[in-house]
């Protein structure tokens, strides 16, 4: 790898703040200590009061320096952390002083963690856990990210990989000694059983209802119903602002409009959709198609019914618990019988909204709790695991039909590769950029 650039960045939040943490990682840490810190580089892992100056000897600030020599640091490289006063001018001056040194530059987003990954301090799912932990807004997201960071997830994938490696070794023996009839049948049967067992485990992980991804990315609630039922009005109530246009004209909402809330301890995206009706308008028809797709994708689907016009409400497309009937415009309800419903609200003045929110929160939190410790927390994991499962199914078919152990071995190798790429052991150059570029600078 040769000599590397030394990277530096503000690691703490946007200034002004009480304290700013400036992080430096790479070989130039020694030079920086010698030239820019009063008293030189401090003793390892000992917070030391020091003065940072620029190369012309102008004082930047006074603060604490912490030196973590390689390999016992986050990145595995020599690392220096400076705890300075968190003012914008201090930070600008500090970064200018540091980058004036040879081979020192500002870090790219996620570059410290990328170096930690490259040094083998973290695997890829753990690095993803770091990013998720920083972005976690709910306790559920935080818990999931911490579990991922501490290796809970990679342990599952690694155990599958190890199991597959063991099977591959057995199958390779069968390829090498094809004529030992007894050996083949003795070994083939257990291999088949273990492949079948793995298929079951992977299927169970994939069939988790996407709960891990939902906890991370947000659950989805769709509001659907006839035009003018008050869907946009309800969305605005839930948003606490005028997110969607409300008019008395049916067919106003065409695009899907989403707002973000925390309900039941979970991040939730609530979508307003175009009213469902027959239409000749091309744009409205597209809106209705999107409304149907949004409802399909959602975890909960609210069918809104107008109490003043309950006539023939569109049928609830999903049974409970996903489908929920909400009667709106309770203020206009006559003496007639209202349709059976889960909630009755007046979206216009907000009556019943609190109860609706509480009810939705209860349902979302039940959904989130329906799977204990989901194995999949990102679409990336699901995609790889799905491919791994296909390879396992193909290995199983080859065993069942006695197509030859070469084919079985090839399928097992494919499955191993997918498991390894989830935790970042192989073939990950293409995903590294995507994973790390979404970190914040300084992490
Ligand atoms: N009286 C009454 N009018 C409402 C209520 N909710 C919505 N509206 C009115 O119904 C009309 C259609 O509302 P909108 O939210 O645009 O319906 P959408 O087509 O389902 O999105 C507007 O004139 C709203 O002001 C309500 O609870 N009571
Ligand atoms: Mg609307």
Contacts of 181 (CB under 8 A, 6+ apart): none
> Both ends of the chain: CA-CA distance in Å?
22
Contacts of 155 (CB under 8 A, 6+ apart): none
Q: For the domain that residue 315 is a member of, what is the CATH number?
A: 3.40.50.300
State residue 337's pLDDT score: 73
Residues 272, 306, single domain; the answer is yes
Q: Where in the sequence is the domain holding 57, given as residue range(s)?
A: 6-107
pLDDT digits (tens, 9 = 90+) for 217-264: 999 999 999 999 999 999 999 999 898 888 888 888 888 899 999 999
Residues 238, 252, single domain; the answer is yes
Q: Are 27 and 2 spatial neighbours (Cβ–Cβ below 8 Å)?
A: no
What 3-state DSSP class applies to 197?
A: helix
Residue 229 CB–ligand 1 contact under 6 Å: yes
**What single DSSP character describes residue 120?**
T
Residue 194: inside a domain: yes
Q: How many Å is the maximal CA-CA distance in the chain?
A: 86
Residue 329: inside a domain: yes
Residues 223, 346, single domain; the answer is yes
Hey, which of 224, 227, 228 would you mutate to test ligand 1's pocket, going by the most ligand atoms within 8 Å of its Cβ? 228
Burial of 179 (0-12, 13-18, 19+ CB in 10 A): exposed
Residues 34, 85, single domain; the answer is yes
State residue 126's pLDDT score: 94
Closest of 137, 130, 119 to residue 154, by C-alpha = 130
Cα(272) to ligand 2 centroid in Å equals 7
Q: Are 266 and 140 spatial neighbours (Cβ–Cβ below 8 Å)?
A: yes
Give the atom of ligand 1 at the shortest distance from the alpha carbon of 304: 20
Residues 356, 233, single domain; the answer is yes
Residues 196, 219, single domain; the answer is no
Give, using CA atoms, the residue closest to atom 11 of ligand 1. Answer: 248
Residues 239, 95, single domain; the answer is no
Token reading at 55: 């190369």
Residues 84, 146, single domain; the answer is no
What is the rounded CA–CA span in Å between residue 274 and residue 324?
A: 18
φ, ψ for residue 389, nearest 5 deg:
-65, -40
Count structural domains, the chain.
3
> Which residue carries 């007639």 as its tokens?
336
Residue 247 CB–ligand 1 contact under 6 Å: yes
HSE-CB of 185 using CA atoms within 13 angstroms = 2
Give the atom of ligand 1 at the shortest distance from the alpha carbon of 345: 27
Token reading at 4: 């590397």
Cis peptide before 433 (omega within 30 of 0): no
Residue 312: inside a domain: yes
Residues 292, 161, single domain; the answer is no
Residue 18 CB–ligand 1 contact under 6 Å: no
Residue 65: inside a domain: yes
Residue ranges in the chain whose pLDDT is less than 50 = 1
DSSP codes, 43-71: PBT--EEEEEE-TTS-EEEEEEEEEE-TT
- Find the DSSP H helices in 177-229: 181-206, 211-217
Q: Taking the mean position of all CA atoms in its chain, how far away is CA 426?
A: 21
Cα(306) to ligand 1 centroid in Å equals 8
- Find the DSSP H helices in 18-151: 29-36, 88-99, 111-118, 124-135, 139-149
Give the atom of ligand 1 at the shortest distance from the alpha carbon of 330: 27
Token reading at 245: 């246009």
Closest of 33, 15, 97 to residue 59, by C-alpha = 97
State residue 372's pLDDT score: 86
Residue 245 CB–ligand 1 contact under 6 Å: no
Q: For the domain that residue 169 is a member of, what is the CATH number?
A: 1.20.120.430
Residues 202, 84, single domain; the answer is no
Residues 281, 282, 286, 291, Cα dihedral to 10°: 0
Give, using CA atoms, the residue closest to atom 23 of ligand 1. Answer: 248
Residue 424 CB–ligand 1 contact under 6 Å: no
Q: Compute and round to an integer the Cα radius of gyration of the chain.
A: 29
Point out the ligand nearest to the CA of residue 257.
Answer: 2
State residue 317's pLDDT score: 85
Contacts of 27 (CB under 8 A, 6+ apart): 3, 4, 6, 77, 78, 103
Closest of 416, 410, 388, 387 to residue 398, by C-alpha = 410
3-state secondary structure string, 381-418? HHHHHHHHHHHHHHHHHHHHCCCCHHHHHHHHHHHHHH
Residues 70, 12, single domain; the answer is yes
State residue 427's pLDDT score: 58
Cα(227) to ligand 2 centroid in Å equals 7
Cβ atoms within 10 Å of 43's Cβ, excluding its own: 9
């Amino acid at each position: 790898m040769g000599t590397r650039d030394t990277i530096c960045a503000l690691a703490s939040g946007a200034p002004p703040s009480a304290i700013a943490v400036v992080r430096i990682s790479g070989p130039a840490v020694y030079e920086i200590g010698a030239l820019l810190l009063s008293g030189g580089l401090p003793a390892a892992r000992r917070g030391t009061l020091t003065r940072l100056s620029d190369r012309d000897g102008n004082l930047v600030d006074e603060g604490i320096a912490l030196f973590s020599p390689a390999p016992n640091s986050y990145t595995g490289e020599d690392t220096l952390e400076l705890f300075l006063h968190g003012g914008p001018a201090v930070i600008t001056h500090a970064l200018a002083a540091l980058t004036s040194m040879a081979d020192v530059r500002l870090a790219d987003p996620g570059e410290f963690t990328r170096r930690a990954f490259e040094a083998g301090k973290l695997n890829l799912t753990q690095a993803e856990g770091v990013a998720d932990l920083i972005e976690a807004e709910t306790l559920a997201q935080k818990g999931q990210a911490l579990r991922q960071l501490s290796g809970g997830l990679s342990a599952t994938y690694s155990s599958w990989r190890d199991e597959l490696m063991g099977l591959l070794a057995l199958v390779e023996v069968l390829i090498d000694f094809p004529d030992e009839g007894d050996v083949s049948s003795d070994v083939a049967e257990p291999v088949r059983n273990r492949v079948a067992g793995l298929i079951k485990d992977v299927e169970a992980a994939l069939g988790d209802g996407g709960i891990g991804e939902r906890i991370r990315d947000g659950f989805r609630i769709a509001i659907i119903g006839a035009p003018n039922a008050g869907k946009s009005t309800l969305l605005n109530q839930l948003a606490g602002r005028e997110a969607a246009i409300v008019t008395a004209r049916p067919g106003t909402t065409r695009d899907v409009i989403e707002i973000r809330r925390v309900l039941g301890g979970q991040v939730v995206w609530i979508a307003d959709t175009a009213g469902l009706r027959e239409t000749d308008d091309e744009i409205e028809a597209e809106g209705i198609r999107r409304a149907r797709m949004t409802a399909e994708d959602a975890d909960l689907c609210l069918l809104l019914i107008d109490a003043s016009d309950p006539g023939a409400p569109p049928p609830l497309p999903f049974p409970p618990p996903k489908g929920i009937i909400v009667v709106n415009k309770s203020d206009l309800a006559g003496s007639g019988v209202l349709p059976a419903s889960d909630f009755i609200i007046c979206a216009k003045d907000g009556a019943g909204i609190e109860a609706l929110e509480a009810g939705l929160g209860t349902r979302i939190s039940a959904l989130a709790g329906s799977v204990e410790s989901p194995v999949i927390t990102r679409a990336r994991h699901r995609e790889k695991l799905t491919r791994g499962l296909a390879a396992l199914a193909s290995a199983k078919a080859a065993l069942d039909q006695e197509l030859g152990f070469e084919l079985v071995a090839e399928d097992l190798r494919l499955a191993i590769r997918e498991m390894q790429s989830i935790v970042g052991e192989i073939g990950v150059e293409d995903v590294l950029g995507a994973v790390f570029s979404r970190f914040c600078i300084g992490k």
